[in-house]
Amino acid sequence: MKKWIPVVVIALVVIFLYSSFKGTYNTFINLEESVNEKWSQVENVYQRRADLIPNLVEVVKGYAEHERETLQAVTEARSKVGGQINVGSEVLNDPQAFQKFQQAQGQLTSALQRLMVVVERYPQLKADQRFGQLQSQLEGTENRIAVERRRFNEAVRDYNKAIRSFPNNIMAGLFGFEQKQYFQSTEGADQAPEVEF
């Protein structure tokens, strides 16, 4: 009977370790999938914005043809973003690719802001029903982008905290779980844009 005590103790330790590793690993997987799902939502709203831009540019062209520079900046920024909208969650593990993605989105946001400043010069454009609808949809999309980026950052925070805390960090290192990148505000976002007429 006494010879079975060490075997039972070892079996209990093995079961305990297995359960701990399994539970922690599955937690990491669930958190990582949450980050990936939030990232998909960010891509979704960026795609919505990119889909609205050609229609918006076409409506503005009809009223403000001599604003070619601004319209061209919006079109170029959209084309840069076009190939990067659905980059996949692998960009989350590459800080340089993530920064490049974020910079392209920031350039598009800046170009759209300049376009809206130009629109202020054309009261007949502001009165156009198509433009009003597109502008409203774009504003709603920009709000969705902010919401989805915030949700993404929250999921990244939860994931990063889980893999960096002790003793989880040991398991995360063993299984290759790496920190994810946060969305950061773009440089100069803390200052209001200057509007001159």
All domains in the chain, ordered by first residue: 4-175 (1.20.1440.20)
From first to last of the 197 residues of the chain, give the pLDDT tens digit.
778 888 888 888 888 888 888 989 999 999 999 999 999 999 999 989 888 888 888 888 777 666 777 777 888 888 777 665 556 777 788 888 888 888 888 888 888 888 888 777 777 777 788 888 888 898 999 999 999 999 999 999 999 999 999 999 999 999 999 999 898 876 554 444 443 43
How many Cα atoms within 13 Å fall on the side-chain side of residue 114? 16
pTM of the model: 0.77
| pLDDT for 86 | 58
| pLDDT for 178 | 92
CA 91, CA 81: separation in Å to the nearest integer?
A: 14
Backbone φ/ψ region at 88: left (φ over 0), alpha (ψ -120 to 50), beta: left
Nearest alpha-carbon partner for 60 in 143, 138, 144: 138
Nearest alpha-carbon partner for 107 in 75, 60, 69: 75
Q: How many CB atoms lie within 10 A of CB 119?
A: 21
| pLDDT for 193 | 43
| pLDDT for 187 | 59
